[in-house]
Structures are given as structure tokens and as C-alpha cells.
Structure 1
Amino acid sequence: MKLTVVGCAGSFPSAESPASCYLIEAPYEGRTFRLVVDLGSGALGDLQRYVDLRDVDAVALSHLHADHCFDLSGLYVVSKYHPDGALPRIPVVAPEGAAERLAEAYGIDEPVGMTEQFEFLAHADGEPVRLGPFSITPRLVDHPVTAFAMRIASDTHTIAYSGDTGPTDVLVDVAAGADIFLCEASFVESGANPPHLHLTGADAGTVATRAGVGRLLITHIPAWTDRAEVESDTKSTWDGPCELVSAGSTYTL
């Protein structure tokens, strides 16, 4: 498996990074299967640095906030109107109602919406979906909208992704024994943080320690947040391999 951080800015694109978007690749049936996990604001442009958009095989969306899903509109344009002809329909696994919400955001009339280009599949808590070489198990987490963490496993390796969430024991199950735990840390311990919204680095480190992960990757840090403080918070509860990701970072398992 190969993980590429396309975008990692928290809540909105920064000057250095698009919002959340991750490319996960693995061999499958004699070729490379390419799964895009989240496609937030500004991500579609940078995604093209790493993959021809015609070669995207599937998309998985953690939730329907703009910084995690709105650039699916751009992918729809590419898929439907490419000068070489419309691209094959691909699966998009996402929270219930994604097809209607994203079609409305783009301005497409129902009932067709985006379904000519995307096969929308609804997350069901704890029920895995098979996309190419990956088994994706979504788990409902703690956020103001319906949101899912995801455990993405191939035959040999596992990447756990927190999505956006407040502290919840569900993350320990999602991340248990994962090679990589890609976890948000939007808040700092010194802040007056509202509940049921995001994690601190210390929260992420606690989950990583309890879950026994191989490597902790911290993501979704807003542009206004001090990365050094997030790192310090994380190291207060986690003493294993750790990195605050940047756009363009790659990790191979």
C-alpha cells in the first residue's frame, strides 16, 4: 500500500495545502488500484500531481462537510465532460444522502444527479465494503454531522483514518494494530475546545497508544494552529513513530 497526502489543511485550504484528501494505492489484478479518501476544498487540483483523474477507481468520503467532499463536483465535471469521452462510472462510498447533497451543491437537478458518473454506496456502521484490493470498514464517530472513521485494509496492511471526530473509544477499535493511524488533531490542549467536534494531539496519541498502532500520522491542522504545540501535545501521550503530515508526503507499506 502507498499513502499520498494530497491535502491535509484543517477546515479550509491553507496557503500550503488543500483541505483533506488522501490517495491510497495498492496492486490489484495486474495493475494499480487508486482509492481517493476524502476530496475536500481545493484538493482536485493537487490530486492531479499524483494521478491522472481518469485513473481514479473509487472515492470514500468520511462526511459531508465542504473540507472533505466538495471537490467531488470537479471530479464529476472531468468524468462527464472529458474530451476523450465520459469516464466509466466509479463507486463513491459516503454517508447516507451524499448523492442528493452533492448534486444540490453542484446545481444538478434530481433525480439523475451525479449518478450517471458515480455509484453512491452508503456507509453502514461496522459493515465493510470491498473496493478493489481494499476492505473499508466505516465506524460512526462524534461530529456535528454524520461522520465516519474508516479502517482501510489490504491483504497485508491496514491504514486507519479518523476522519473528523471528538474523542471517542470507537477510534481505538478502528485503529487497533493498524500499520498507520492517520488521525486529525485540530485542537490544542491549551485551548477552550468545544465538545463533540475535534481531537487534540494528546487525544490522538492516547488512541494510538491504546490501539497499538505502528505509526501515528497527524493531519487536519488548521492554518491558524501552532503545529509545534500540536506536536508537543501528541508526544505527551505517544512515544512511538509520529509525524505531522504535509501536502505531498508519501508513505509506503
Structure 2
Amino acid sequence: MDLSVTVLGCATPYPSVDNPCSGYLVSHGGTRLWVDAGAGTLGPLQRHTRLQDLDAIWISHLHADHSADLLTAYYALLFADVERDPVPLYGPPGTADRLAAFLTNGPERSPVESAFAITELHDGHQVTVGSATLTTAAVEHGIPAFGLRVEAGGRSLTYSGDTARCASLVELARGTDVLLCESESAEETADMAHHTPEHAGRTASEAGAGRLVVTHVGRFLTSRDAVTRASSRYSGEVSYAEPGTTITAG
């Protein structure tokens, strides 16, 4: 069994015609984990798995380009053709109330807990989901935000979420087989909240990652430029998270 990640989308800060916002399906054997639920990702998710077959959802932070499709998933889970118990949902502090605040349009709070079994993330959070171990680390994005390491079958995959360069992401990705790292910023600024491609390369190099996949590339960059620039700081294999592709760890 391979540990793999399928790119549902990686656009920022809004979907393009052929690229939804951030969302990934991490798979190992029969385990299915929806990582980030950015706008437009619920559609392509269903090319690969059904909502009733998901083992869990994991959300890095509550910006809409990483979480908006939780809203439509709520309607699918409660009011459509999906029959299952609430989906385990791992998200930042306040996830339940944020969802309910948007969904409620009357005197009674929308029952988000009937759709999702919500666990709030914290630095160092660890849980087993199916055959995979999920480890979370707090990262630096100006709001509560987290990176994720998934380990299964002797392989590992690390996802940065959205973050400036930080020691906690390097440690989370230490020796990982694949680092899926955001590269939104075109240039370095004093108030960084994201990686530049060069930052992604440095993070991969310092972590000793086996392979770097740049994702969440900003609108003022091309995927080719992002790969080229990341390669200037990292000597290993660098590729782009092309929507629809599946990347295998190892």
C-alpha cells in the first residue's frame, strides 16, 4: 500500500477555471483523509472517494480558500443522499462556532455537530486515522494555523498549510519523504505570512526532505517559475502540485 496525496486544487486566493482552492486527498490503503476544504474542492474530491467513505477531514486554518467547502459538505452530510455518522473533523480552535455562525439563519443554531465530530487542533496534536498517524504543529500565519505530517506504511508526507518560514515546520518535516509546501509570495517582505519559492526550497533542504512539491503558488508567479526558484535552494527533486495529479511518498 502506498501513501499518496491527490491534488484537488491549489489556487489562491480564489479558484481559477480549472483549479479549485486548496484541497488534497491523502490515501493509504482504504484510509481516506480530506486535507483542507478550499472553495471548489468538494467536486473533484468525489472523483476519488465518496463523502460517506471519508475517514476524516483535517483543516489547516479557517481562511476561506482552505475551508469554504465545509459549508457545502454540511448540506451534503445532513440533507442529501449521504448516509453516515458525523465525519471526524480536525480543525483550528473555534471551527464549530465559525461554521455555525455562517450556516445559522434563524433563531436556532445550525447543528454542525450533527455533520462533523469536531476536534480542535493544538500544537503537537496526534491522532490515528485508519492506518495513518497524523501529527500537527502550529505554524506562523498571523491566525491559528497548522502544518500536518502523515505517516503510514513506513512513509511520510508533510503539508505546510499556509505559513511563513518557521522552525516548527522544519521540525515537522524532518526526514519526510514528500514535503508539500506552499509558495504563495512572489517576493520577501517584512511581514511575511507565506513562503516564497526560495523559502520552500530552504525549508525542504533544512528538513532533509526527500522530495519537494510546491503548491498554493500565488497569482503573481507561474508554476514553472516557482519550481525553478525553489530548486535554487534545494538540490532534490522539485515539482508542482498540478491539480488532478497523485503524488506517492517514497
Kindly report which structure 2 residues correspond to 1:95-114, keeping only aligned pairs within 5 A, or say none. Answer: 95-107=92-104, 113-114=111-112
The 5 Å alignment of 1:214-253 reads 214-253=210-249
C-alpha deviation, 1:232, in angstroms:
2.2
Of 12, 25, 39, which residue of structure 1 is paired with 2:27?
A: 25
Does the 8 Å contact 1:10/1:219 carry over to 2? Answer: no
**Aligned-pair CA distance for 1:221:** 1.0
Residue in structure 1 matching 2:85, options 88, 103, 111: 88
Judged with a 3 Å threshold, the aligned counterparts in structure 2 of structure 1 residues 251 and 192 are, in CA distance, closer, same or farther, namely: closer
CA RMSD of aligned residues (A): 1.7
Q: 1:111 and 1:97 mapped to 2: Cα distance?
A: 15
Residues 12-91 of structure 1 aligned to structure 2 (within 5 Å):
12-27=14-29, 32-83=30-81, 86-91=83-88
Q: Tell whether the 8 Å contact from 2:31 to 2:132 is kept in structure 1 after alignment.
A: no
2:141 corresponds to: 143
CA shift at 1:10, angstroms? Answer: 2.1
The whole-number CA distance in structure 2 between the counterparts of 1:246 and 1:103 is 33
1:111 deviation in Å? 5.0
Equivalent residue, structure 2, for 1:162: 160
Q: Say how many residue pairs are matched.
A: 246
| Counterpart contact for 1:8–1:245, Cα < 8 Å | yes
Local SS of the residue matching 1:115: helix
Structure 1 vs Structure 2: percent identity of aligned residues? 35
Which residue number corresponds to residue 4 of structure 1? Answer: 6
Partners of 1:146 and 1:101 in 2: CA distance: 13
1:179-208 Cα deviation digits (max 9, x unpaired): 1100000012xx363524100111011111
In structure 1, C-alpha distance between the alignment counterparts of 2:216 and 2:100, rounded to whole Å: 26
Alignment-mate amino acid for residue 8 of structure 1: C
Q: Which 10-residue stretch deviates more, 106-115 or 238-247? A: 106-115
Q: Distance in 2 between matches of 1:43 and 1:194?
A: 32
Gaps of 5+ in 2: none
Shift in alpha-carbon separation, 1:58–1:108, aligned structure 2, 3 A: farther
- The AA in structure 2 aligned to 1:6 is L
The residue number in structure 2 matching 1:205 is 201
1:224 Cα shift?
A: 3.8
Q: TM-score, normalised by structure 1?
A: 0.91
Change (3 A) 1:194 1:15: farther
Q: What's the offset of the Cα at 1:86?
A: 3.6
CA–CA separation in structure 2 for the residues paired with 1:58 and 1:194? 37
Segment of structure 1 superposing worse, 101-110 or 51-60: 101-110
> 1:195-242 CA deviation, whole Å, 9 max, x = no partner?
241001110111111111111000001334232322222011011011
Does the 8 A contact of 2:127 with 2:133 survive in 1? yes
Which deviates further from its counterpart, 107-116 or 157-166? 107-116
Are the counterparts in 2 of residues 144 and 196 from structure 1 also a CA contact under 8 Å? Answer: no
